[in-house]
Structure 1
Amino acid sequence: MIIVQAIDALREELKSWRKAGEIIAFVPTMGNLHAGHIALVKRAQALGSKVVVSIFVNPTQFDRKEDLAAYPRTLAEDCSKLQAGGADLVFTPTPALMYPTGGLATKVEVPGISELLEGASRPGHFTGVSTVVCKLFHLVQPNVAVFGEKDFQQLMLIRQMVRDLDMDIHIEGLPTVREVDGLALSSRNGYLTTAERKLAAGLQLTLREVVDALHKSRQDYAALQAEAMQSLVSRGFQPDYVEIRRTVDLLPAQVGDENLVVLGSAWLGKARLIDNIPLTLKKLTETS
């Protein structure tokens, strides 16, 4: 496995791969890797002949300085996991390399979707995400890029950006990888105490209760969301939001919409957890 930090070295290696006709699959990460990230790498292996993984803790997508400072940097361990997982190249740029002027002199924004849900809770977050992913796409120029569906809104944002900018990159989403109790794997799970970890699956359980109610033909969406917020409080969380949205554009679901996603975010101690469950409702048929 090759590890490069300099842009020139990255381009030189990728140039030789393209000349040899390799199909390049890309997995962007912020490091502190877990089994969910390795699942992305395995999927990338199935889609391409060479797998590039980036490890970059992107400062511009953090809305709180203390969160950026606390984010775990585990580069040596991450590289060991990636080598075992079959990555071919790891790109490990520094903030000074990615942002030579010290910040976002040029910004890539995806209006609309970037202002909803996570965007409303974390101002500026998605501008940082779309800008850094656009820059990484430009540097790597992959044929395909793989993202996890746990960050559902982020995945939709990336797909929109790729469509709008006519990038010749296939975006592949991988279903959320979970612990045995249902907790979505996340680097932020490491912030949980032992006691909090025992409660953490309550977020997924709450979303599942909403999904079950929808499948039972409940259509009072606002009431369902309010009940879910109270359920999270009773399970020890400080809820941020629980929303029933359309998968096509993440706008609030209306009666008659079939393809939906239930999304939630809540604090548990120092950890802010997010999760989602997509679903398709059966179309109601009229009877005479």
Structure 2
Amino acid sequence: MLILKTRNELFDFIQYINAKNLSLGFVPTMGALHDGHLSLFKRAIEDNQYTIGSIFINPTQFDNQNDLLKYPRTVEDDINKLESVGCDAVYIPGVEDLYPNGLECDTIAMNGLDLVMEGEFRPGHFQGMATVVKRLLLQINPTRAYFGEKDFQQLQIIRHMVCALKLPVEIVGMPIIRESSGLAMSSRNMRLTPDFKKKSIFIYQSLLKAKELSSHYTPQKVVSKIEKMYLNTDLKLEYFTIVNEETLLTANTFDDCKNYRAFIAVFAGDIRLIDNLQIR
């Protein structure tokens, strides 16, 4: 596997791919790879003649600098995992490769998709995320790029951005990969204490309960019932909401012609976890 550490090294690799007119799959990550990430790489390898990943902990998408400092950094282990699944190359740029003029975000219109849920509680997060994804897509020019549905709001924003900017890349969303307990796989899980890791199983259980309740109650009533369930736990609920999948706007009623998804953010001690589930 090629390990590309500068924009110039990446450019040489991309030129080789383009000269041979080969399809290229791309999986952007911030490292600390787990089976959820690897599922994206396996799909990219199936779909394309070459596959490249990136590892870059993007400073502009952290609204909490302490969270940035504590984010797991496991590059050697990540490289070993990518080699084990057959990835062809990994791009590990420095900050200067993606932010040559300093840590500034591009102005990217998101049609309001960035103003709810994560956007409300993490101001600036999506501008930082969209900036780095756009710059990576422009540098790599892949045929397809792969993103997990665990960050479903991010996925919808990227789809909108790619369409608005007319970028020639297919965005592929992939299902959430869960631990045997149901807990959504996340790089943050490795920071959970054993006690909170066990208690965090309740997050997925509450999403399944919301799906069950949605057959009998309005969205607002389902949200109210789930919020009450968290009053009796050691988990601190930041938000629980049910939205239209396409617009990400709060659902007031359930329309059989539309898809609805429940989203949740929870603090397990000082670790913030998110999850979501299509409920209708």
TM-score bin, normalised by smaller chain: over 0.9
Shift of 1:161: 0.5
Shift of 1:178: 0.2
Name the TM-score, length of structure 2 as normaliser: 0.96
Partner of 1:200: 200
Gaps of 5+ in 1: 281-288
Partner of 2:89: 89
Q: Which moved more, 1:104-113 or 1:23-32?
A: 104-113
CA RMSD in angstroms, aligned pairs only:
1.2
8 A Cα contact 2:210 2:279, kept in partner? no
Partner of 1:133: 133
Name the TM-score, length of structure 1 as normaliser: 0.94
Gaps of 5+ in 2: none
Seen in structure 2, the aligned counterparts of structure 1 residues 105 and 224 have a Cα distance that, compared at 3 Å, is closer
Identify which of 216, 240, 263 aligns with 2:238. 240
Shift of 1:223: 2.6
Partner of 2:225: 227
8 A Cα contact 2:38 2:85, kept in partner? yes
The CA deviation string for residues 183-203 of structure 1, in whole angstroms up to 9 with x for no partner, is: 000001111101111111111
Shift of 1:109: 4.0
Matches of 2:112 and 2:105, distance apart in 1: 22
Of all paired residues, the percent bearing the same amino acid is: 36
Letter matched to residue 183 of structure 1: L
Matches of 2:63 and 2:169, distance apart in 1: 28
Structure 2 matches for 1:4-19, cutoff 5 A?
4-19=4-19
Matches of 1:230 and 1:95, distance apart in 2: 44
Partner of 1:175: 175
Seen in structure 2, the aligned counterparts of structure 1 residues 19 and 262 have a Cα distance that, compared at 3 Å, is same
Shift of 1:105: 5.5
Q: Which moved more, 1:232-241 or 1:56-65?
A: 232-241
Shift of 1:100: 2.3
Matches of 2:268 and 2:158, distance apart in 1: 28
Partner of 1:286: none
Matches of 2:264 and 2:21, distance apart in 1: 42
> Is 1:217 matched up with 2:216?
yes
Shift of 1:97: 2.3
Matches of 1:232 and 1:2, distance apart in 2: 47
SS in 2 for 1:266: strand
SS in 1 for 2:53: strand
Seen in structure 2, the aligned counterparts of structure 1 residues 158 and 265 have a Cα distance that, compared at 3 Å, is same
Matches of 1:163 and 1:66, distance apart in 2: 34
The CA deviation string for residues 207-242 of structure 1, in whole angstroms up to 9 with x for no partner, is: 11111111x2312x2232122122123232110111
Letter matched to residue 107 of structure 2: K
Shift of 1:47: 1.4
SS in 2 for 1:168: coil
